[in-house]
Structure 1
Amino acid sequence: MRFLLVLACFLITNATLAQSIQFAFEGDSATVPFVRDSLRGISGLEMVPATGELHFVSDRGWHYVFNNIRTIHDLSNNTNLKRAEKTPFWFESVRYHPQTNTYFWTDEHEFVTSLLASKMLGDSAAKVLLRIPLPGPNKGLEAIAVTPAGALWMAPEAGWESETDMNQDSITFFRYVNPLAADPVVERFRYPMNRCPFAQGEERPNGISEIVAVDDDRLLVLERCYDASHRQVTARLYVATMDVANHTLRRELAFDFNQQFPGVVCNLEAMTWTDDTKQSLVLMADDNFRRNRTLRNQVIVLRRR
């Protein structure tokens, strides 16, 4: 009997992990008006379900906190903006782990990119987990995700220094099993990534724009690149599943924005789950401070099928 129970648990667990994750767009998208003129260049989003706070961070140091956000259209209401503050960090991604009450974020300046942790987002005395020179022009530590068990995943935008070449068909993700340990152990997983031969300049290696944890074994990975000549963003959302034995991530398409989204896709840069059930995903584009008038604060909501 004990054997049968163990076998049943094993089969249920593996069936759950094998379930395909797909998303659908159900018409929920908007361009967010500027409740503050500095609400531009958004590079990271994180929802804290316990408090209902939605954190926005920009790649020029701004940190915003909204509350009472029930739909994306509530973002246009200035009374929902709880806090707006300037920090010394040029954010690329932000995540929160409720069990340890810890924020993690990445910072990318002109020549150096860093991974940091603190009880307070934007803390100038935050613990530095990693600090390295940029692996490529405008290609730093782009995306992070925290699993329910507290493991921290980190992805470079286009690969590490030896991985940004167009001929490289995979890059390395880092996984910190216990990121708050005094000397954290780092595991490395290979992730297959499409390159962008049709793009120009620094966009050609393609980019990991953001990642978020599904569970302890799977990530959602947002890949995106921009073809300046055709003024077209290519964006796809993948499910990446850990293969622990081979230290690889198996990739499966979950949503193709160019095929399944009816409008023009902007410079998608940030994403987060909307609540603990992980049934809805909100994504936001970086308007690059309106240096290009075609860019805007586009927000898109996807729902799991």
Structure 2
Amino acid sequence: MARSRRTTIKIAAALAVLSAGLTVPTAAEASDPVRLTRFIGEQRLPHLMRFKGTVVGGLSGIDRDPRTGTWVFVSDDRWRYDPARFYTATLDIDLEKGTFDGVRLTGVTTMTRADGTPYPAYGQPYSADPETIRFDPWSTGLLWGDEGDRPDATHPDIPVSSSAVRIMGADGRVLSELPVPSNLELTSADVGPRRNQGFEGLAVAERTIAAVTEGPRYEDGPPPTLERGAPARLTTWSRTGRLRGQYVYPLDALPAAPNPPTGLAETGVSELLAVDDFRYLALERAWMEGVGYRVKLYEVDLRGATNVLNRPSLGSTYRAVRKRLVHVFGRPTQNLEGLAWGPRLDNGECTLVIGSDDNFAADEVTQFLAFAATGCNL
């Protein structure tokens, strides 16, 4: 514990030295919008692939360290097969040809609590639900988003496990957590985020950390339907972990009815990726029973949006973030949950890699899609 505390203090001190004020750019200074120019390749991992004693699957978040070129994938397994963990990997992207030719796992690390023990399994107190991961540009560690868990009408015996954004070392041990706004604390009552609607997307920009809930809180209204969308909440912190703001992300309505009409359906934000300190890419992923997945990619701009950090309920007097549609994924599509910038191609284009969570299901796949892009501001 003492070593973890000293490490956390060192990280906080380093972040404080690096921290700077946020300046809103003028329209003339703003970067071009993000555009996907072409598809450059797809790679898959085998179903229930074995790697170093673990079962590979449930890859719900991906990222690349621009300093080393190392990729990382986080699994939301929750000890169905193995404890919470992340994998390191290499992606073979030919910078001259602009092709995506392979993916190879290189390592696996168990994610642990401050005392070095793995997170308990699903349904137990203090379990973890890793949904997103980012390299920490200000240290050698990583940040990851824990969606947490809580009881609801269909799962009354699930204990409350906090939704969180955590900082961990390269060895997987947690070092610290960012402060969570009181309006996003999970409870056992119909207050705060719903079950499976906590932190799902995480982004790290030059001066800002941002995380978005998958769906609406109880106080902010019901989940999306065919007729209307719903408000999720996007929260930002400074480099030092100070809460900076919170904004409404307007979710789309369901894109199709389930089949049968009484079947299950859900939609929400599955990942967030920084373009700069004000703009983000967001994956909106919907699933309808008997229909499958529908996924869109949006560019989101926080400038001009109302800061709702201190609002326990939204009411109607607020301005949501602006959304611009970047891409609609073809059908059928997979459960796309990972989103990361890859290396820049020799022709100047950026690369964007999108990954799928197969849910360990035989009829879904672990897939990586790579696109060339412009306007990435790297």
TM-score computed with the length of structure 2 as normaliser: 0.66
3-state SS, counterpart of residue 299 of structure 1:
strand
Q: Which SS does the other structure have where 2:93 is aligned?
A: coil
Structure 2 match to 1:7: none
Q: What is the CA-CA distance between 1:144 and the residue it aligns to?
A: 0.8
Which one of the candidate residues 42, 67, 70 is aligned to 2:93?
Answer: 70
List per-residue Cα deviations over 1:14-61 (Å, max 9, x = no partner). Answer: 245263322134251132233626110001101001111100110121
Give the distance between the partners of 1:22 and 1:246, measured in 2 at CA. Answer: 26
**Cα separation, 2, equivalents of 1:244 and 1:175:** 15
- Counterpart of 1:54? 71
Return the letter of the residue paired with 2:335: N
- 1:141-180 to structure 2, matched below 5 A, reads 141-149=199-207, 151-163=208-220, 165=222, 166=224, 169-178=230-239, 180=240
Partner of residue 26, structure 1: 39
Counterpart code for 1:85: T
| Greater share of helix | 1
Does the C-alpha gap of structure 1 residues 176 and 38 become closer, same or farther in structure 2, counting only changes over 3 Å?
Answer: same
**Uncovered stretches (5+) of structure 2, i.e. residues with no partner:** 1-24, 78-83, 95-99, 112-118, 120-127, 151-160, 188-192, 308-319
Give the structure 2 partner of residue 270 of structure 1. Answer: 338
Give the C-alpha shift of residue 141 in structure 1: 0.8
Q: Does 1:122 align with 2:172?
A: yes
From 93, 100, 108, the counterpart of 1:84: 108
- Please identify which structure carries the higher strand content: 1
CA distance change for structure 1 residues 216 and 125 in 2, over 3 Å: closer, same or farther?
closer
When residues 109 and 18 of structure 1 are mapped into structure 2, their CA distance, relative to the original with a 3 A threshold, is closer
Report the equivalent of 2:115. none
Matched, 1:253 2:312: no
Partner deviation per Cα, 1:220-272 (whole Å, 9 max, x = no partner):
01001112222x211000000122464442110011113xxxx6310101111
1:85-126 superposed Cα distances (whole Å, 9 cap, x missing partner): 332243101112323444211113432322212343631443
2:301 aligns with one of 241, 251, 275: 241
Matched, 1:227 2:288: yes
Paired residue type of 1:172: R
Alignment partner, residue 195 of structure 2? 137
Moved more, 187-196 or 156-165: 156-165
SS at match of 1:162: helix
TM-score by length of structure 1 reads 0.81
- Does residue 289 of the first structure (1) align with residue 363 of the second (2)? no
Q: What residue ranges of structure 1 are gaps of 5+ in the alignment?
A: 1-11
CA change 1:281–1:138 in 2 (3 A) is same
Establish whether residue 106 from structure 1 lines up as the match of residue 166 from structure 2. Answer: no
Identity %: 22
Give the whole-Å Cα distance in 1 for the aligned partners of 2:328 and 2:130. Answer: 26
Helix, strand or coil for the counterpart of 1:17? coil
Compute the RMSD of aligned alpha carbons. 2.8
How far apart in 2 are the matches of 1:216 and 1:243?
Answer: 10
CA distance in 1: counterparts of 2:349 and 2:137, whole angstroms: 15
Give the AA of the match of 1:53.
T
Q: Distance in 2 between matches of 1:19 and 1:128?
A: 31
Do 1:22 and 1:254's aligned partners in 2 also have CA atoms closer than 8 Å?
A: yes
Contact kept in structure 2, 1:235 and 1:257, CA below 8 Å: yes
State the 1:207 CA deviation. Answer: 0.9
Q: Is the 8 A contact 1:274 1:282 kept in 2?
A: yes
Q: What is the one-letter code of the residue matched to 1:140?
A: G
How many residue pairs get matched? Answer: 279
Separation in structure 1 between the aligned mates of residue 236 and residue 295 of structure 2, nearest angstrom: 24
Distance in 2 (CA, whole Å) between partners of 1:162 and 1:46 is 33
AA aligned to 2:39 is: E
